């Protein structure tokens, strides 16, 4: 090469802590996902109820049980936020019907572990049933819906969520389709608005070696924390493997991902189904925790709550999802005398975060389009602004790309396979 080399981009050697600070929240996100941070975090989280118990035993404070319950709730939301983050943050699929899978998991467990159908499956069999049922529903929705993009997918999944809620409310009597009644008159699957009560808790020892007797709340707190640790481990492993790279690539630029040999439909479905099964298992643990499956536990507001957690913490960030869950569940109880202002404060904080940090506290992706971040549309417009003289006029191909990026259905050979 006879070219005179252009000056190389120099990388100064700086102190790793300084570099971490300057790399911004996405750099912190990276740092917080290291095992050296996560393992102590989970050990600490598991020890918290013991600490609360210790304080209660040695002072006049009597709220250890109450706070363990709140923390168990918090851990449950963290599990859901991590699962939602997988499908929305990584794969970029706006799944507004997410909470329906939580409900399906709850009801699937309640049906095989209560007097509703007089079934009392052992724990592991029930777990398999729950996973199979949520997976089946995920495929039922995902296979047709994932051919849509962006807003269209959001609307279809939102519709699914609403329909599932109505179906569960109406299944206290046998379903009737086109004048034909399925099942006997006495068939009552879901208990309608009452839900299913007296669901079996998991058959677990009530006392553990070394620790002694374990109260119900604490046991389920540990189960949730354990499941959270397992989810975080799996999701982080996936993110740093071929599967996770394909997810993020599809989110960033679907056309380019396909050109690199990624079967985009398959990977979108994988992300959708995996997150649904995770939500289903959380629903099962929750049903055993609160002894019932109740339709109010998974209405649209719950979806919004979990979305707020994920967006507040940062799309595409696992520590962010956990942080969002903590930030949204614990402070309301700390500031109970101000509970009247709860939604006011939450709204103001959310607006402030969206204005000043649209990518969330620890996030990597902005939900607001930016020139330096995001997908196809931004890249295209940014380039044409710079290269207007060099680029030809927009061709039909590019129009097709733009449509694809904007979410319309375009000619897509892979669907015909």
Partner 1 sequence: MESVSGRKSVLEVRGLMRRFGGLTAVDRFDVDVNEGEIVSLVGPNGAGKTTVFNLISGVLRPTAGSVRLLGRELVGLPAHRITHQGVARTFQNIRVFPQLTVRENILLGTHHWTRSGMLGSVTFWPSTLRAERAAQAEVHTAIDLFRERLEARLDDPAFSLSYANRRRTEMARALAARPKLLLLDEPAAGMNPYERIEVAGLIRSMRDRGLTIFLIEHHMPLVMEISDRVIVMDHGVKIAEGLPKEVHSNPRVVEAYLGRRAASA
Which CA distances in Å does 196 have to 118, 166, 380?
Answer: 12, 15, 52
Q: Which of 143, 260, 335, 339 binds partner 1 (CB under 8 A)?
A: 260
Among 64, 248, 306, 321, binds partner 1 (CB under 8 A): 248
In the complex with partner 1, which residue's Cβ is closer, 69 or 262? 262
In angstroms, the CA 136 to CA 115 distance is 24
DSSP H/E element including 405? helix 396-406
CA distances from 375 to 120, 250, 264 (A): 49, 10, 15
Write each residue from 82 to 111 as x if it is in contact with partner 1 (CB under 8 A), else as -, in one continuous string.
Answer: ------------------------------
3-class secondary structure, 61? coil
At closest approach, how far in Å is the CB of 91 from partner 1? Answer: 12
Nearer to partner 1, 200 or 401 (CB): 401
Q: Cα separations (Å) of 243 from 89, 232, 290?
A: 14, 15, 35
Q: Residue 174: which residues within 8 A CB-CB, separation 6 or more? A: 181, 182, 183, 184, 185, 187
Closer to partner 1 by Cβ: residue 96 or 257: 257
Indicate whether 388 belongs to the interface with partner 1 (CB under 8 A): no
Question: To the nearest whole angstrom, how small is the minimum distance from the Cβ of residue 274 to partner 1?
Answer: 7
Residues in the chain: 417
Does 268 participate in binding partner 1 (rule CB under 8 A)? no
Per-residue x/- track, 181-220, partner 1 (CB under 8 A): ----------------------------------------
Q: Tell me: does residue 13 bind partner 1 (CB under 8 A).
A: no
Piece of 43-51, 121-129, 294-302, 391-399 that binds partner 1 (CB under 8 A): 391-399
Q: Is 275 exposed, middle or buried (0-12, 13-18, 19+ CB in 10 A)?
A: buried
For position 226 contacting partner 1 by CB under 8 A, the verdict is no
Span from 156-164, 215-223, 343-351, 405-413 in contact with partner 1 (CB under 8 A):
405-413
Contact 392, 363 (CB under 8 A): no
Least distance CB 163 / partner 1 (angstroms): 29
Distance CA 164, CA 99 (A): 10
Q: Which residues make Cβ contacts (< 8 Å) with residue 132, sequence separation at least 6?
A: none
Region binding partner 1 by CB under 8 A among candidate stretches 31-39, 208-216, 330-338, 409-417: 409-417
Choose one: 128-136, 213-221, 331-339, 380-388; the region binding partner 1 (CB under 8 A): 380-388
| Residue 51 φ then ψ, to 5° | -65, -45
Cα–Cα distances in Å, from 119 out to 108, 126, 333? 11, 10, 37
264 belongs to the binding site for partner 1 (CB under 8 A): yes
Q: Tell me how far, at minimum, the Cβ of 380 lies from partner 1, in Å.
A: 6
Q: Are 95 and 157 in contact (CB under 8 A)?
A: yes
297 binds partner 1, rule: CB under 8 A: no
Coil, strand, or helix at residue 196? strand
Return d(Cα 289, Cα 79) in angstroms, integer. Answer: 15
Identify the residue whose tokens are 């089946």. Answer: 136
In whole angstroms, the minimum distance from the beta carbon of 334 to partner 1 comes to 35
Each residue 340-379 as x (binds partner 1 by CB under 8 A) or -, in order, gives ------------------------xx------xxxxx--x
Give the interface size with partner 1 as a residue count (CB under 8 A).
67
Q: Which residues bind partner 1 (CB under 8 A)?
A: 1-6, 8-11, 26, 233-234, 237-238, 240-243, 245-246, 248-249, 251-253, 255-264, 270, 274, 316, 364-365, 372-376, 379-380, 383-384, 386-387, 390-393, 395-398, 400, 411-414, 416-417
């Amino acid at each position: 090469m006879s070219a005179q080399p252009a000056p190389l981009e120099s990388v100064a050697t700086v102190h790793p802590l300084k570099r971490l600070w300057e790399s911004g929240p996405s750099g912190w996100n990276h740092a917080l996902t290291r095992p050296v941070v996560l393992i102590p975090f989970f050990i600490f989280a598991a020890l918290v109820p013991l600490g609360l118990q210790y304080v209660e035993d040695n002072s006049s404070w009597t709220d250890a049980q109450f706070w363990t319950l709140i923390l168990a709730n918090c851990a449950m939301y963290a599990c859901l936020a991590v699962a939602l983050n997988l499908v929305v943050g990584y794969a970029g699929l706006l799944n507004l019907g997410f909470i329906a899978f939580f409900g399906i998991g709850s009801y699937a467990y309640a049906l095989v572990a209560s007097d509703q159908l007089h079934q009392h499956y052992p724990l592991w069999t029930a777990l398999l049933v729950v996973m199979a049922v949520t997976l089946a529903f995920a495929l039922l929705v995902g296979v047709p819906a994932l051919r849509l993009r962006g807003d269209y997918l959001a609307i279809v999944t939102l519709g699914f969520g609403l329909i599932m809620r109505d179906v569960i409310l109406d299944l206290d009597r046998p379903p009737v389709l086109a004048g034909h009644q399925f099942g006997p008159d006495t068939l009552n699957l879901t208990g309608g608005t009452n839900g299913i009560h007296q669901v079996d808790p998991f058959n677990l020892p009530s006392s553990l070696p070394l620790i002694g007797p374990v109260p119900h709340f604490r046991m389920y707190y540990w189960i949730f924390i354990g499941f959270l640790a397992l989810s975080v481990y799996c999701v982080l492993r996936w993110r740093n493997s071929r599967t996770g790279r394909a997810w993020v690539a599809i989110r960033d630029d679907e056309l380019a991902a396909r050109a690199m040999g990624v079967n985009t439909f398959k990977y979108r479905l994988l992300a959708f189904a995996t997150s649904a099964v995770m939500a289903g298992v959380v629903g099962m643990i929750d049903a055993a925790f609160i002894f019932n499956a109740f339709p109010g536990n998974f209405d649209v507001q719950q979806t919004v709550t979990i979305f707020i957690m994920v967006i507040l913490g940062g799309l595409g960030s696992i520590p962010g999802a956990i942080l969002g869950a903590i930030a949204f569940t614990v402070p309301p109880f700390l500031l109970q005398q101000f509970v009247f202002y709860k939604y006011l404060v939450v709204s103001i904080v959310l607006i402030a975060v969206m204005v000043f940090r649209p990518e969330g506290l620890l996030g990597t992706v902005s939900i607001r389009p930016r020139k330096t971040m995001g997908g196809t549309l931004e890249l295209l417009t940014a380039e044409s602004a710079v290269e207007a003289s060099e680029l030809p006029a927009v061709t039909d191909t590019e129009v097709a790309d733009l449509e694809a990026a904007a979410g319309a259905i375009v000619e897509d050979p892979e669907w015909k396979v």
